[in-house]
């Protein structure tokens, strides 16, 4: 079985969970015997032994262009910069396009690629690649699966959605033969907000790699030697992620226990707002902005933290608690998170209930036996939610869809 897959992001690029999910799922699909042709809009460094196609190199594309770093979570009107051409002395001439224009351009190139490739089914990840999947279906007639990792309602953390993204979602969902969501939480949004028939949507939860990671020296060793407790946030700093509620809860925690340090690892369009909120709340001595931590630095912070908090307002899944659990750290998540459907050994709270969030943070910090038990039981759960299991479900969906289409 050969699958033409469209994605916007792939490791080792450091944008967030979308690339991580595409990597884990694609790796295990290959191990299941699926031949994956993974198409990305721009040339980038990639890992894994799969075949990659970069759309900017598609046949009949004559524009001389060097791809910019495309971020998968931008709004439709966000601009990306690229090199359109070079002047006579070789100096690059820069232009810019909106992210939505890039998505349409990707779709045009996808139609060219689909005419050149031999494949059985199309699989497109996230809204930035949906139009590419639709275009490939239009020229090939092959069945199309759209994989929803987040919706416009998640990104807006409410009903004030980006109309450009919402339009792409609705039009693409109508063209899809099947839609995969990473949680029931996300399926409910598609059914209630986008008007998608529930029978068209299959829930396949994200997975993880449950193997034991290497141990590292603690980060923030000086703080830990002083007996301070460390509470970690790791993720994008956007309205969807609820970091402002996290800071409100931090203020209440510090009022009770000033010996707690809050670490924020990440980047996003709310970074300046959150920095200002920390200062205005009088928390500068208790909050550390660590930047976006990745790889060993991230793993060291996971292992150093006493508790991870994922305060999301709307989280389709949320890989961070699984990553923290691998490193032996318990988590507090919100009820508005898809990962809670498969991970029961975790503390939960409504994102807006900052008093209860603070209470559960304090309880977890005061009772190490509680944290240890969450980790012990949670690690048992990890073995039931692997990328291998997710890939098996996707393979079954491929087979069923192909059988249905061809009979």
User: Is 349 strand, coil or helix?
Assistant: strand
Predicted pLDDT of residue 96? 53
Model's pTM, two decimal places? 0.90
Domain ranges of the chain: 2-66+100-207+386-406, 221-382
Predicted pLDDT of residue 61? 43
Average pLDDT, the chain: 91
Q: Which of 6, 41, 7, 27 is nearest to 140 (CA)?
A: 6
- Dist. CA 46–CA 26, nearest whole Å: 12
Average pLDDT over residues 58-74: 46
Task: Please tell me the CATH superfamily of domain 2-66+100-207+386-406, with its number.
Answer: Glycogen Phosphorylase B; (3.40.50.2000)
Instruction: Report strand pairing: 121-125 vs 287-291.
Output: unpaired
- Dist. CA 303–CA 329, nearest whole Å: 7
| pLDDT surpasses 50 at 42 | yes
| Range list of H helices, 233-386 | 243-256, 271-280, 295-304, 320-326, 354-366, 368-382
Q: Do domains 2-66+100-207+386-406 and 221-382 have the same CATH topology?
A: yes
Q: What percent of the chain has pLDDT over 70?
A: 89
Predicted pLDDT of residue 85? 52
Give residue 137's pLDDT band: very low, low, confident or very high (50, 70, 90). very high
Predicted pLDDT of residue 210? 87
From residue 151, alpha-carbon distances to 148, 154, 166, 245, 370 in Å are 7, 5, 8, 21, 34
Q: What is the pLDDT of residues 284-303, one digit of tens each?
A: 999 999 999 999 999 999 99
CATH fold of 221-382, please? Answer: Rossmann fold (3.40.50)
Angle at 128 between CA 122 and CA 134, to 5 degrees: 35
| pLDDT surpasses 90 at 93 | no
């Amino acid at each position: 079985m050969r699958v033409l897959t469209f994605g916007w992001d792939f490791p080792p690029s450091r944008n967030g969970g979308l690339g991580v999910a595409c990597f884990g799922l694609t790796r295990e699909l290959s191990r299941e015997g699926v031949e994956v042709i993974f198409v990305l809009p721009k040339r980038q460094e990639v890992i894994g032994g799969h075949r990659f196609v970069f759309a900017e190199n598609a046949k009949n594309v004559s524009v001389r262009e060097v791809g910019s770093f495309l971020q998968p979570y931008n709004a439709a009107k966000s601009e990306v910069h690229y090199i359109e051409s070079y002047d006579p002395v070789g100096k690059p001439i820069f232009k810019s396009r909106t992210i939505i224009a890039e998505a349409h351009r990707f779709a045009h190139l996808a139609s060219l690629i689909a005419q050149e490739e031999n494949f059985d089914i199309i699989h497109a990840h996230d809204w930035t690649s949906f139009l590419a999947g639709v275009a490939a279906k239009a020229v090939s007639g092959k069945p199309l699966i759209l994989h929803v990792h987040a919706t416009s309602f998640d990104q807006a953390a409410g009903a004030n959605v980006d109309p450009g993204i919402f339009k792409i979602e609705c039009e693409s969902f109508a063209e899809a033969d099947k839609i995969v969501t990473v949680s029931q939480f996300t399926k409910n949004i598609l059914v209630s907000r986008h008007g998608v028939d529930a029978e068209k949507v299959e829930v396949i939860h994200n997975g993880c790699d449950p193997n034991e990671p290497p141990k590292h020296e603690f980060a923030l060793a000086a703080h830990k030697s002083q007996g301070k407790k460390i509470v970690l946030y790791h993720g994008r700093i956007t309205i969807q992620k609820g970091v402002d509620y996290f800071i409100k809860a931090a203020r209440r925690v510090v009022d009770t226990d000033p010996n707690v340090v809050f670490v924020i690892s990440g980047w996003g369009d709310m970074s300046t707002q959150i920095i200002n909120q920390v200062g205005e709340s009088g928390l500068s001595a208790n909050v550390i902005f660590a930047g976006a931590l990745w790889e060993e630095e991230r793993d060291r912070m996971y292992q150093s933290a006493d508790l991870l908090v994922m305060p999301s307002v709307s989280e389709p899944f949320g890989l961070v608690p699984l990553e923290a659990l691998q490193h032996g750290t318990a988590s507090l998540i919100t009820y508005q998170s898809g990962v809670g459907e498969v991970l029961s050994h975790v503390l939960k709270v409504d994102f807006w209930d900052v008093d209860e969030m603070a209470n559960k943070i304090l309880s977890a910090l005061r009772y190490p036996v509680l944290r240890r038990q969450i980790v012990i039981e949670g690690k048992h759960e990890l073995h039931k939610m692997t990328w291998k299991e997710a890939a098996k479900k996707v393979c079954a969906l491929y087979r069923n869809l192909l059988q249905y289409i061809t009979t």
